[in-house]
Chains A and B, each alone.
Chain A
């Protein structure tokens, strides 16, 4: 049922200029107390594409996401969005420019009995309304703007299939469902680029199928995605192209078929050649 992604074929289409790179990571290095987490990593993500970032646990994937959204300053190299350098910007500024992310370990607010809906509303405040306190503590629920925001948050929750949980507290939800709420929150900011850190962990194979459809719908809204994920069924069917990190270095880059068959990637990460388009192994 899946169509193999064909990024190379797309590039060869006579489009005049090559498709614009939305994000450019150029020569990024980062060390922690002598441990080289990232070593001279470079790649680009084209607008409207889904790019996967894969590699063994500890290869530097999350560190790279932290550099891209400004949580970490690289020792060397630059990150730019449509040619504007993000490297020394604060996370909030980068978020305002349209970069949203989800975290590997879910980060949802539970203070003051914040509900799932409250958490999703917080996503919007990054770009639209600075009064986070209003949502979390004062619970100002009057006013036109607040009403519009709540409708929008409910839409985001419906989009990920979690509207039934709007009034619950996040701690009463399973790990997998908390991830979906996090995704809804990141969509509230109407991002141009979405960074997803292992969004499918905690989902079973059938749920991964639904999640795949969901991410295709996100892409259809024009959102570009950088996907860190270990579920190869999802990665191989969804990605336009893939970059592989190992020990902080770029080990390989290419379309799913070439990555699947790459001996170095099989040895470092996959363990065996993967079947594209089939069930997971």
Chain B
């Protein structure tokens, strides 16, 4: 459903992506691995339209997405849960969720249903619905960020480092959520530095080095790959 071909991108004169090819098929969890600075978050920004590539094409459900506006891309069905959560701390949990549905102009009755389905996935958000998002713990804020991403009822979810800055117990809970989403057949492109846990959840994975995709394969195979173990698992 997502097809990326020959993407190049630069910050000023520094080229950070130098030819990325990647596919995500229906129902798949695909993991994007690579050293810090390899260009993973940049690639997600290009897919969701937050940044324009200098070369190459992004296609989604057969449509050309390259250089479309972020809100158009959300309406087409791609939702981006950014690195560092980026929730609106001074707004309530409900207001944060509402913003997730904004691009669609979702009707009130449907919103109620959507809130309910978020409560099923994240019971804590029901308890904290009227509270300020900033008063949630880090793990709860990450759940809110994912729920906000789901409010647009995406056909593909981009998850950038969901475990970043979370306590060990909270990391377990977040990976539990990703596993849940998987059973609901929501395709996910996952960027994660917790490589071992990510490969255990994913169907396939791509490895990026200095702006290029250099390797891809079944997640289970990569988990046993000597180079992957040495470079990303520190073994």
Chain A residues proximal to chain B, CB less than 8 Å: 54-58, 104-105, 168-169, 171-177, 198, 201-209, 230, 232, 268-271, 279-280
**What 7 pairs between A and B have smallest CB-CB spacing?**
A57-B138, A176-B36, A172-B11, A205-B234, A58-B137, A174-B37, A206-B234
CB-CB under 8 A for A168 and B168, given A57-B139, A175-B84: no
* CB–CB B170/A56 < 8 A: yes
Q: A169-B11, A230-B167 are in contact. List 7 more A-B contacts (CB 8 A).
A: A56-B137, A198-B165, A203-B193, A204-B232, A205-B232, A206-B234, A269-B168
* CB–CB A175/B139 < 8 A: no
Q: Which of B36, B138, B171, B235 contacts A177 (CB 8 A)?
A: B36
- Interface residue B213 (Cβ < 8 Å from any Cβ of A): no
* CB–CB B137/A177 < 8 A: no
Query: How many B residues touch A, CB cutoff 8 Å?
Result: 35
Complex Cα distance, B13 from A172, in Å, reads: 10
Q: Which of B193, B230, B235 contacts A202 (CB 8 A)?
A: B193
Q: Which of A171, A206, A232 contacts B168 (CB 8 A)?
A: A232
Number of interchain pairs (Cβ within 8 Å):
98
Q: Chain B residues with Cβ under 8 A from A56's Cβ?
A: 137, 167, 169-170
Give the shortest distance, in Å, between B133 (CB) and chain A (any CB). 13
Chain B residues proximal to chain A, CB less than 8 Å: 11-12, 14, 16, 33, 35-38, 41, 83-84, 137-139, 161, 164-172, 193-196, 230-235
Q: Chain B residues with Cβ under 8 A from A201's Cβ?
A: 164-165
Give the shortest distance, in Å, between A11 (CB) and chain B (any CB). 28
Complex Cα distance, B38 from A139, in Å, reads: 31
Identify the closest chain B residue to A176 (Cβ): B36
Contacts A/B (CB < 8 Å), 8 sampled = A54-B167, A58-B137, A174-B38, A174-B41, A175-B84, A201-B165, A205-B196, A232-B168
* CB–CB B233/A270 < 8 A: no
